[in-house]
A and B are shown apart, each in its own frame.
Chain A
Amino acid sequence: MAGPDRAPGKNWLGRVASLKFTLAILVLLGIGVALSYQNRDGGWVTWLMVGPLALFALNLIAAIATHPTIRTQAWLLIFHLALLAIILLVAAGRLTYLKGAIELTEGEVFGGELTRAESGLWHWWRLDRVRFVNQGFTINYAPGVQREHTYNRVRWVDEHGIERTATIGDQTPLVLYGYRFYTSFNKGFAPVFSWYPAGGGAPRRGSVHLPSYPAKEFSQAQGWTLPGNLKVWAMLQIDEVILDRDKASRFRAPEKHRLVLRIGDDRHELRPGGRVALPQGVLVYEGLRAWMGYRVFSDWTLPWLLASCALAVVSLALHFWRKFSAKPWSPA
C-alpha cells in the first residue's frame, strides 16, 4: 500500500494534496459539526462547516490530481470523485434550495405565497406558477391521541392544462415545478367568514386559521383585522370530543361548537350562519373547516446527490472487494 513516502512532489499542489492535511481536515470537520450542533442559532456557525468543507474539497481535488495511489486504482478514484461531487452538490443545493411552509383551508387554492420561507442566495423562484387546491384530508387517531396516516386530497392543473388529482401525505409529497409539498402534523380549524361592507361594495370571504390542533388544543383563539381597521378576536369553544383518549377517532371539524368573538368591547357568540352587524359592515360566520400546514421544499440537486451517493457506495465496495480478494487474509 502506498504511504506518505509515495506522496506527490513537494510543490504547492503536492502540499495541498497532503494526506496529513486530510487527517487534520477530517478532525476540523468533526469539530465543526459538533460545535454547530451545539450552537445552532449563531450566524457564524455556518462557517464552522463551510470552512472545513471548502478545505476538504481543495484537498480532495489536489489529491485526485496528483496522488499516485488514488490515480491508479480506478474504483478508489471514482469513490473520491463521487465524494467531491457530493460536496459540490451539497454546496450548490445550499445556494439554491427553498424551504418553507404554507397553510391552506379546505377548498383553498395555493396562490404562490409562503407563510414562512428560507432559501439559498440564488433560489430561482417559480412558485408563482404553482397552483393547487387542498380538497380536504383524513387523519385517523389511535387511542391515546396517536396520529396515524394522513390522506390529503389535492387537485391541480398540469403543464398540459389537464386537471389532475392525487392523495398525498406521510411519505408522499405533491411535486409541482420542482417544488415538493409535504403534509405535516401542523393542522387545525379555520372559521370561515363573509364580510358585507356597509353601503354596498363586493362582499369578501375568508378564513382565519386557529392554532394547531390538537397540539394547541387549549388555546384555540386568534386575532385579526377586518377592513376598516377593525380588530377582531375569536375563540373556538368545542362542545364535543373530537380526538378521544380512550378509543380510535378521526380528525374532523366539530359540529357542536360556538365561536366567541370580541370586537372592541363587545362580545358575541356565534354558531354557523350567525352574524354581527357593525357600523362598517356585516360579518357572517359561515362555518368551520380544517386547514392543513404543508412543508415546501425545493432542491434540484436531490437526484444528482442520490446518484453520487450510489456511485460512492458501489465504487467503495468494488475497491475493497478487489483489494481484499487480490490478497485473501491469512492467519500467518
Chain B
Amino acid sequence: MERELQLLWVAVACYVAAGVVAIFGVVLGKRPERTVLGLLTAALAIHGYSIGVRWERLGHGPFITLFEILSSNIWSLTLVFALAYWRYRPVRPIAAIVMPILFVMMAWLLVTDPERGHLPATYDTLWLYIHIGFGKIFLGAVLVAVGMAGVILLREAGWGIAKLARLPADDRLDDLAYRFMALGLIFETLMLVAGAIWAQDAWGRYWAWDPLETWAFITWLTLAFALHLRFTVKTSPRTGAVMILSVFALAFLTFFGVPFISTSPHKGAI
C-alpha cells in the first residue's frame, strides 16, 4: 500500500501545481496553458497508475470505500476537465475555478482512511462498471459547466472583471456551459438506467427509492428543470449559472454525501 500512496501524493502534488499555475495565470494575466495541461496529464498518469496498482492488489475497482470513491472521482473529473481544457481553448482560464473544487476533494481524500473494504457479492457485475462510468462522465460534464458558471457569477459580482475579460462573453459561456449540461443529462440518464438494470439483477427490483436512488432522481429532475427553464422563460446567463451550481451541488451530495450518511453505497446492497 505504501507505494500506491506515495504515487497518489505525487499525483496530488501535480494536481495542486496545475491549479496554482492556472490561478496565477488568471491573476497575472498570463497564459501558462501548456504547463497546466502538462501537469494535469502527468498527474492523471501517475494517479491512474496508483489506482491501477491498488486495483491489482485488492482485486476490485475503486468503488467500495470513501477513499476509493473520492480518489477515482478526482481522477475521472480531472480527466473530463482536461479533455475540455485541451479542446476548448477560449475557456481555459476556468481551470482557476474548477481546480479549487478538486482541491477540496483532495483535502478530504487526505483525511480518509485508505484501508480496504469488502466487495459485496452483488458488486460483481459488469453493470456496476457501466453505471459508475456513466456517472463519472455525468459529473465531469457538470463540473466543466460549473467552471463557466463560476466566471459568469464572478463577473456578476464585479470580481476580477478585467482579469476575466479574456474569456468569451457571458452568453457565449452560457451556451457552451449548457452544451455540457446536455451531455450531463445524457450520461445521467444512462447512469440511472444502468443502475436500474443492476438493481434488478442484484436485488430483484429496478427501483426502490433508496437514498441514493432518490437523490439521483431529484438531481435528474433539477437538470430537466434547468433545461426547460432556459427556453421557457429565456433566463439570463446568471440564472442559468445558478441552476448549474444547483445541479452540481445536488449531484455532489448524491455522489459523496448520501452513501456515507447511510452506511454503504446502496443500502439494499449487503
Contacts and interface: CB of A to CB of B under 8 A. Distances in A.
Interface string B166-209: 00110010011001001101100110010011001111111001
B72 interface: no
Interface in A1-41: 1-4, 19-20, 22-23, 26-27, 29-30, 33-34, 36-37, 40
A310 B186 CA distance: 11
Given A36-B209, A185-B270, A329-B175, A171 B221 contact: no
Contacts of A316: 185-186, 189
Contacts of A297: 204-205
A320 B180 CA distance: 11
A147 B218 contact: no
15 contacts: A3-B232, A19-B231, A20-B232, A23-B229, A26-B221, A26-B228, A33-B209, A33-B214, A33-B218, A37-B209, A147-B270, A316-B186, A329-B172, A329-B175, A331-B168
A302 B204 contact: no
Nearest to A150: B121
Interface in A282-332: 295-297, 302, 305-306, 309-310, 312-313, 316-317, 320, 324, 329-332
A217 interface: no
B172 A317 contact: no
Contact of B121 (A148, A296, A312): A148
Interface in A177-226: 180, 182, 184-185
A171 B233 CA distance: 46
Contacts of A36: 209
Interface residues of A, number: 51
Contacts of A302: 200, 206
B129 interface: no
Contact of B217 (A4, A33, A147, A309): A33
Interface of A: 1-4, 19-20, 22-23, 26-27, 29-30, 33-34, 36-37, 40, 99, 142, 144, 146-150, 170-173, 180, 182, 184-185, 295-297, 302, 305-306, 309-310, 312-313, 316-317, 320, 324, 329-332
Contact of A329 (B176, B185, B205): B176
B199 to A, nearest CB: 11
Contact of A147 (B121, B169, B182, B224): B121
Closest 6 A-B residue pairs measured CB to CB? Answer: A182-B204, A331-B90, A331-B168, A295-B204, A19-B232, A171-B201
A331 B91 CA distance: 8
Interface residues of B, number: 47
Given A171-B124, A313-B193, A320-B182, A19 B168 contact: no
Nearest to A37: B214
A242 B168 CA distance: 68
Given A2-B231, A23-B229, A329 B179 contact: yes
Contacts of B91: 331
Nearest to B211: A37
A173 B202 CA distance: 9
Contacts of B179: 320, 324, 329
B228 A22 contact: yes
Nearest to B198: A171
Contact of A330 (B172, B218, B221, B228): B172
Contacts of A144: 118
Interface in B115-173: 118, 120-122, 124-125, 168-169, 172
Nearest to A7: B232
A246 to B, nearest CB: 15
Nearest to A1: B231
Contacts of B186: 313, 316-317, 320
Given A150-B121, A170-B202, A171-B125, A313 B189 contact: yes
B202 A34 contact: no
A308 B231 CA distance: 25
A34 B218 contact: yes
Most buried by B among A4, A19, A170, A331: A331
Contacts of A310: 193
B34 interface: no
B222 interface: yes
Given A33-B217, A316-B186, A329-B179, 17 more contacts: A3-B232, A4-B233, A19-B231, A20-B233, A23-B228, A23-B229, A27-B225, A30-B218, A37-B214, A147-B120, A148-B121, A171-B125, A173-B204, A313-B186, A313-B193, A316-B185, A320-B186
